[in-house]
């Protein structure tokens, strides 16, 4: 097993690059920051490690970056992605002063993708498949919103369809029981890296605890391995983190999204 420090270094080197924003409509640079704009009026701020950042510099960067989005009336919300292992003095306070609100922290999980690729049994009557049609993608998106306790979002479905049109290698997988979608997950191979990302893992509450999440994860892992990827990463909730740990992934840090809404 690779140790957490080694995996975290690979995360910083290979994933905190343009690889984070392959489907952005545009990406602007402001100092060390990447200011991405996505379909649906969504802004996203990310950056490589800020090794020499001072509190004074960060205090300037936050409002300057936000002004980039304030100037575009089409932008309705902005996510600033923070990492728990960064040296970023005063960032939390600067974000709060500028109207950002922290969401729940998640665990950054990394490990060998082969550890996830087992051929796992499914509950009777449950099947897995990859989806690409507009009808299936919208049904998958609505089911995922329900699983997370959110209202159905046409915006997210539109964004997924846009990603498929771009041909970035993203794959959408669902679990079905009697023709009804009960689980879903997204695979995102990262170009020019060893990594594939596992995102959006969701299972409807009545179907949890039956191995569906792990089976969806394994199917995506096998697909990523076939494409030559050797490592997997995921930002995981406290529901999915223990499942991935049992499969050999390691928590290397945390990430907390801070959200600004117009």
Q: Where are the domains of the chain?
A: 4-107, 111-253
pLDDT band (50, 70, 90) for residue 1: low
Using pLDDT thresholds of 50, 70 and 90, give the confidence band for residue 244: confident
- What is the per-residue pLDDT for 34? 97
* Top-level class of domain 111-253: alpha beta
Mean pLDDT score, 53-81: 96
Contact 24, 163 (CB under 8 A): no
What's the pLDDT score for residue 170? 95
Q: What is the mean pLDDT of residues 139-144?
A: 96
Q: Is there a contact between 88 and 53 (Cβ–Cβ < 8 Å)?
A: yes
Q: 155 is written with which tokens? A: 């915006």
CATH architecture of 4-107: 3-Layer(aba) Sandwich (3.40)
What is the model's pLDDT at position 93?
98
Distance CA 132, CA 112 (A): 27
Q: According to the model, what pLDDT value does residue 118 have?
A: 85
pLDDT value of position 153 = 83
Note whether 74 and 108 are within 8 A (CB): no
Query: Taking 70 as the threshold, does the pLDDT of residue 199 lie above it?
Result: yes
Locus of tokens 């840090």: 253
Per-residue pLDDT, 100: 98
Q: What is the pLDDT of residue 169?
A: 92
Mean pLDDT over 103-119 rounds to 93
Whole-number Å distance between alpha carbons of 190 and 44: 18
11-15, 48-52, 77-81, 174-178: least confidently modelled range: 48-52
Q: Do domains 4-107 and 111-253 have the same CATH topology?
A: yes
């Amino acid at each position: 097993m690779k140790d957490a420090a080694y995996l975290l270094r690979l995360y910083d080197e290979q994933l905190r690059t343009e690889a984070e924003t392959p489907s952005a409509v545009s990406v602007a640079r402001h100092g060390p920051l990447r200011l991405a704009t996505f379909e649906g009026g969504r802004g996203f701020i990310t950056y490589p490690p800020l090794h020499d950042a001072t509190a004074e510099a960060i205090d300037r960067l936050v409002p300057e970056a936000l002004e980039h989005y304030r100037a575009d009336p089409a932008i309705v919300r902005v996510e600033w992605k923070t990492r728990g292992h960064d040296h970023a003095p005063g960032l939390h306070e600067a974000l709060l002063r500028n109207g950002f609100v922290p969401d729940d922290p998640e665990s950054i999980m990394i490990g060998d993708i082969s550890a996830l690729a087992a051929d796992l049994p499914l509950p009777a009557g449950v099947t897995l498949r990859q989806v690409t049609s507009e009808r299936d993608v919208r049904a998958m998106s609505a089911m995922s919103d329900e699983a997370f306790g959110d209202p159905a979002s046409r915006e997210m479905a539109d964004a997924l369809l846009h990603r498929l049109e771009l041909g970035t290698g993203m794959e959408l997988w669902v679990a079905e029981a009697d023709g009804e979608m009960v689980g879903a997950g997204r695979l995102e191979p990262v170009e020019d890296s060893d990594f594939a990302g596992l995102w959006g893992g969701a299972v409807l509450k009545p179907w949890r605890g039956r191995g569906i999440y792990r089976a969806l994860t394994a199917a995506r892992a096998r697909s990523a391995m076939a494409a030559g990827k050797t490592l997997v990463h995921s930002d995981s909730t406290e529901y999915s983190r223990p499942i991935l740990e049992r499969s050999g992934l390691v928590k290397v840090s945390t990430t907390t999204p801070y959200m600004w809404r117009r």
